[in-house]
Amino acid sequence: MKVALVSEGTYPYAMGGVSVWCEQLIVGMPEYRWDVVALTVDDGARPVFGRPENLDRILDIPLWGPRPAGRGLPGARRARPRTPRPGEAFLGAYEAFVGALLADADDPAAVRSRFIVALRAMFEYASNGGDLVGGFTSNAALSALVRAWNARRTEPALTLADAVEASWRIGHMLGPLAVPPVRADIVHASMNGLSALVGFAAKWRYGTPLLMSEHGIYLRERYMSFLEEETPGAVKVLVLAFFRLLAEAAYHLSDALAPHSAYNRRWQLRGGADPSRMWTMYNGVAPEDFPVAETEPDVPTIAFMGRVDPIKDLHTLIKAFALVRERIPDARLRIFGGTPSGNGPYRDSCQSLIDDLGLSAVATIEGRVETSVEAYHAGSIVALTSISEGFPYTVVEAMACGRTVVCTDVGGVAEAVRDAGIVVPPRDVTAVADACVSLLADDARRRRLGRAARQRVLDHFTLEQSLDAYRRLYDRLLDGGFLGGHAPDGRRLEAAAA
377-425, pLDDT tens digit by residue?
999 999 999 998 888 899 999 999 999 999 999 989 999 999 999 999 9
351/74: higher pLDDT = 351
Distance CA 237, CA 359 (A): 41
Contacts of 45 by beta carbon, 8 Å cutoff, 6+ apart: 13, 38, 60
Task: Tell me which residue of 380, 410, 453 sits closest to 263, measured CA to CA.
Answer: 410
Mean residue pLDDT of the chain comes to 90
Give the Cα-Cα-Cα angle 276, 280, 285 (nearest 5 degrees). 155
Kindly write down the DSSP assignment for every residue of 403-469, as one continuous string: -EEEEES-TTHHHHHTTSSEEE-TT-HHHHHHHHHHHHT-HHHHHHHHHHHHHHHHHH-BHHHHHHH
Angle between helices 443-460 and 393-400 (to 10 degrees): 110
Contacts of 154 by beta carbon, 8 Å cutoff, 6+ apart: none
Determine if the peptide bond prior to 232 is cis (ω within 30°).
no
255-310, pLDDT tens digit by residue?
999 999 988 899 899 888 999 999 999 999 999 999 999 999 999 999 999 999 99
User: What type of residue is 429?
Assistant: V
HSE-up (13 A, CA, CB side) for residue 21: 29
Contact 214, 388 (CB under 8 A): no
Contacts of 225 by beta carbon, 8 Å cutoff, 6+ apart: none
Contact 272, 228 (CB under 8 A): no
Distance CA 80, CA 314 (A): 41
pLDDT band at 372 (very low <50, low <70, confident <90, very high): very high
Average pLDDT of the residues in 113-121: 96
List the strands of the sheet with 186-189, edge to edge.
Answer: 55-62, 33-40, 2-8, 186-189, 210-214, 256-259
Task: Tell me which residue of 202, 218, 220, 222 sits closest to 210, measured CA to CA.
Answer: 202
454-478, pLDDT tens digit by residue?
999 999 999 999 999 999 999 999 8
- pLDDT value of residue 83: 53
Distance of alpha carbon 496 from its chain centroid, rounded?
22
List the strands of the sheet with 404-408, edge to edge.
Answer: 363-367, 332-336, 301-305, 381-384, 404-408, 422-424
Inform me whether the pLDDT recorded for 74 exceeds 80.
Answer: no
pLDDT band at 85 (very low <50, low <70, confident <90, very high): confident
303-333, pLDDT tens digit by residue?
999 999 999 999 999 999 999 999 999 999 9
Inform me whether the pLDDT recorded for 79 exceeds 80.
Answer: no
Report the number of secondary-structure helices (H) and strands (E) in the chain: 19, 12
Kindly write down the DSSP assignment for every residue of 278-305, as one continuous string: B------B-GGGSPPP-S--SS-EEEEE
Contact 412, 450 (CB under 8 A): no
Distance CA 475, CA 320 (A): 47
Distance of alpha carbon 495 from its chain centroid, rounded?
24
Coil vs helix vs strand at 31? coil
Average pLDDT of the residues in 187-201: 97
Inform me whether the pLDDT recorded for 484 exceeds 80.
Answer: no
Distance of alpha carbon 282 from its chain centroid, rounded?
15
Average pLDDT of the residues in 57-75: 65
Q: Taking the model in full, what pTM does it have?
A: 0.85
Provide the strand spans (E) within 233-331. Answer: 256-259, 301-305
Contacts of 127 by beta carbon, 8 Å cutoff, 6+ apart: 177, 205
User: What type of residue is 393?
Assistant: Y
Strand (E) or helix (H) holding 39: strand 33-40
C-alpha distances in Å from residue 497, one per residue of 298, 324, 378, 417, 419? 35, 31, 29, 9, 11
Average pLDDT of the residues in 143-153: 92
User: What type of residue is 165?
Assistant: E
Inform me whether the pLDDT recorded for 352 exceeds 80.
Answer: yes
212-252, pLDDT tens digit by residue?
998 878 888 898 888 878 889 999 999 999 999 999 999 99
C-alpha distances in Å from residue 107, one per residue of 114, 137, 151, 242? 11, 29, 19, 17
- pLDDT value of residue 344: 94
Distance CA 196, CA 189 (A): 6
Strand (E) or helix (H) holding 55: strand 55-62
Give the Cα-Cα-Cα angle 62, 307, 49 (nearest 5 degrees). 55
Coil vs helix vs strand at 490? coil
Give me the percent of the chain exceeding a pLDDT of 70: 92
- pLDDT value of residue 494: 43
